[in-house]
Chains A and B, each alone.
Chain A
């Protein structure tokens, strides 16, 4: 019996991956069950000379659907911002009215009325600012989480081939840094570009209206400020990128110094390595200094220009006031309003570069959403799985390689039969095992299970039929139980105990919190042998019809290995097995041996046949013979013999 014909409840779970077909009983629909909400890419447009034309904002615009659930909040944000802006603009006007009206005329009632009005406006402005920020928090962060969840789902669906091309660090920087750049722009940059432009326009008009000659002075000062900002922003971004790159260089020198410390010490090359590190650090220092110089000038000028404008306004304003062409209240209001322009103008440069960054970031995110999934789901299902695996002229090569890793693979494994795969390091054994669960697809020929091409099978069923224990087992930073039940979250305690028994992984019970102990990077660290035994238990627990063991016993000591092999013999009864083997003792688990050399299967036969007739096979096994393990065993048996005597 194989796992896919078990109770219907577990069936929905195992099959649910492929989409919403799992039936009304399914719960917990996730982002995996629907396509990402990102809008499809617009059809490419070509310029006159046939070059691809891209609108820089297009990727960002494609994210629009993620905003929809929060549209009420975004609209509220805009309204609050606009009203707050209006209040902020009116306050200096009221100040002017106070000075020109009640104060000039010594009208206390008027003073109180207008003063209280100004006070109230100030409170309204602050309150609106509060509401805007309060309301927008959930909207922007919710949008970010929405995109992030879809991105993660997309990445989980993408095949091994994709992940082989992309380092997880690059993916991480898209998922965290780029996404927060986009989020910042959505919640802040976009709004303030509009609001600042609006504010600059309105205030300039008001200033011109108040007293146009001074208004012109202010208008004239806007240009050098915005020019300065734009230019410096560009230069600053360039320098910051360089600082970032050089920080990265220093970091890799640091990593080398840390990871290679033993080699460095063995050759006494500390000075050599330090020189390399130091050169990078000095370069970084120089670029940082350039940036310091730029910002020191930039920030100073940014402060100086308004001050100079203020002096000019004051000088002319005072003269104008002296000639009665301007009231003192207007002068004060003028100065206050003018100063309120400093930030919106100065921020424009920063905001525009933020917008540009957000567009680039959105491009980088869209790139992942647009990645083609080469491994597509099939539609067939096998009713009663028997577990006959056939390689029919199968070949495989990596996407960017020029030669096949494996070619002309022909092998027929009968249901319940176990085949050992033997080959030298680099002969393609691991690639071979990855083809069966379709972690990679064959690039020629085909592989069938019970006569069905595995590419036509539902992926979820295929991977239920096939379970693999990897040589370098991945442990996740989760409880030991969660790690064990990776392929079967609903396994009972008895089943878990049984699998632990088979894999001789009893050490998990002795961990500080037993099966609930966190293992992996962020938890208890386990030895190579312990990790392999967990991986084996994981595979056994999945109760597959086809069990693939990719050199799962290599890190076990000879004693444990013997116990595991004994238990495996029982597990492999009635299960089709593919066992990558290094040692004669592991080979003996198998009914037949297939020898891989030069990317293909050169010999198939029993262990004794190959040992007698194939010298390369003999050489291989001889090379895998490990004196240390063997001496351990010799010592063990001698001790036992002594004890018996």
Chain B
């Protein structure tokens, strides 16, 4: 589904990732961990084409990402839902409009059907906040809204960058349950996090592969987790 073969990424003269190889199989669940600045976000950005590898080959859905033009890249991103750490909403639009933005830009009807949207927002616990503006939402509400936006097009892959970074333990567990639920629906999930307690909590819910980025390389994490 998404495959990295000896991918390196250099920025400003420094190599952030070196000869990284990774396969995200359909329906798999991955945690990507490592210290701050290790390259977790960079790896996620490579996976959805926001960055291009300096060397190596990165393919998504059997397409070489480096060969895609901007239109093809847009189509690719509709198959990959992304939850950013800072959520990235349009502050002048309501929650409902923000969440249905992928529907709007992909031309799938004017927007999601109101009932479907209410159901989706109900699934993430925001069914009563449709008309709220992003600045009016709490950290946890923003993360759940970002997750709803990431999955509204029913993507094959969900990438989440520190989805529990700004929320308390209870909310992080709630978000984790939503991501596990998505995986049970057949979605491939990759979560970048430095929160090891989240990974431990997930072990009882899902069979997850834990990867660690260290010294610009990616390794399978050991049993110490």
Q: Judge: A and B partners, yes or no.
A: no
Using CB atoms and an 8 Å cutoff, list the residues of chain B in contact with chain A: none
